[in-house]
Structure 1
Amino acid sequence: MLEALIIILTVTMLGITLAPLLPSNHWLCRVWEFPRVQIAFLTICVLASSLYITSPLLQIVLVMTNALVAIYQLAWIFPYTSLYPKQVPKAQATDSTQSIKILTSNVLMTNHSSEKLVDLISLHQPDVVITLETDDWWQNALVAIHSDYPYRVNRPLDNLYGMHLYSKFVLEDVKVMDLIEEGVPSMHCYLKMKDERRVKCHFLHPAPPSPTENDSAKPRDKELLLIAKEVANNTEPTIVTGDLNDVAWSPTTRAFRRISGLQDPRIGRGMFNTFHANYPVMRWPLDHIFHSQHFALASIQRLPSIDSDHFPLLSELVYLEN
């Protein structure tokens, strides 16, 4: 019985490891890019159990298979551990005229605990707040922060893709566009920092590959790579943030960083898993911030729950003088 169970689990772990390598964008294949930590952990447990197999040949096959699967999965997530060199330097000092603090929060449209988000905003005083899945109800609930955020962009929607931008900084050249799919907006603008420096910002929330959203990962991938190519042609200070519905270690996000040339402050620091807030054993980093080499990192932290399925993400970047 134990032997049969170990064989079944080994085949399963191998199958879901190979699935994302298939030439398909269907969610059934691409979804296995997300739980690499969980797959690695389960595979290591199966590997340990394989040591109790009495048949020497079968034991070798099972141990080797599980070892290769575990190593492969760990290789993807290794850059998002403290053992890996940090990609973004730590800011030596925080000059308020050269720093920008951004709070990104997917609120979950059906969640109405707006006071928890308002309290976090009041506590941390970010310069920029970007909310996702916000509809008319949330737009009205967040009137409470208007006095602190005079510059705002609203796109309330009741399809889980509403988006609101609140800023203490002047917003210029604001564009709200449905880049790939109708009803799935993104926001693009310049932020004018306290020292008058302009920073190009892209706020994104593409639809995920899932049985309830898109069967294919193609629209999400297309939007991310479209922004990557646009950023690659610019040399100005740039920030891209939002719920990208993709994990930090996926091939698409890797391609996004490679094409855009943007940096990920989580590399060498941790995963900062923001989803799923209600299931500790099933979490991965879906909310991201990327930036150009003009910035160093003052801080990055996952904030407490606001009763959404996502935790908010708070990041502070500091402009580096040449």
Structure 2
Amino acid sequence: MARKRWQIWAKRLFTLLFLLLIPALLFMLARNLDWDEVRQSLLAYKPGTLAIGLAVALFSYLTFASYDLLARAYTGHNLPARQVLPVAFVCYAFNLNFTTWVGGVALRYRLYGRLGLDTATITRILTLGLLTNWMGYMLLAGTVFALRLVDLPDSWAVGATGLQLIGFGLLAIAIGYLLACGFAKKRTWQWRDHEVTLPGWRLALAQVALGASNWALMALLIFWLLPGEAFYPSILGILLISCVAGVVAHIPAGLGVLETVFLALLHGQMQQGTLVAALLGYRTLYYLLPLLLAVITYLILEKRAKAMRQRDNPA
């Protein structure tokens, strides 16, 4: 009885802290942005260019949200797509802007928990989503790096050969994962209190395809906002490098990291002002606008969850 009461109060405390955390993070993001700079960068583009860019961004979000549909097939839970997709969309937007711990983990546990899923199922959804994202990354980045589609400056310690070797290593991991899912006899591993079960061959192929597609769409948006002389495979490779740098740096939304890597690797290939404007446009279309939609969607989901609780537990 005492343990159950403690769990109830812990859940209430977690809810209170989470509801305080979201407005605080939104305030910090708004305060640190140079909104005039964002406005000027967007005014430099034609409305049609921005509309197509926003469509690419939203299609990327839909691709990412589909990770959770794969996770539904993997876990066997029965939530319909109309409930899964909004949750995944909100989590992705908050994940990009406020780190994985806020969007990818805490928010996913909260929203799925309110829809009736238990902690073990949510953990498996989270695990499969991470695998989908990073296995797709490894296959795509491995291919780009192995083919030497990114020109590194001579001052970079890794060098072209080093990056190519990294590419071969990433390809080996991605292919090894697919082979394990298709042919491994042992399907389940235990690590501490966590149990990981390999998905089937078809599900693993869908994982890698969706993961790679999402990364490719992110790069496509930047490529679309750049002038005509941009080379898409090179833009893709630079984005893949910058995302890893952002993860290592643990900076929300990778602020400054993306710009630094792009400016360093494209130095001398195009004007810096043009490149900075494209990156600001990318941040607006891929981070800020979806975040605004995600905040509205999150409030709707919270309202629906409250209505469901009142209906199921009338006073």
TM-score, normalised to structure 2, is 0.24
Larger strand share, 1 or 2: 1
TM-score, normalised to structure 1, is 0.23
Larger helix share, 1 or 2: 2
Q: Relative contact order (alpha carbons < 8 A, sep ≥ 6): 1 or 2 greater? A: 2
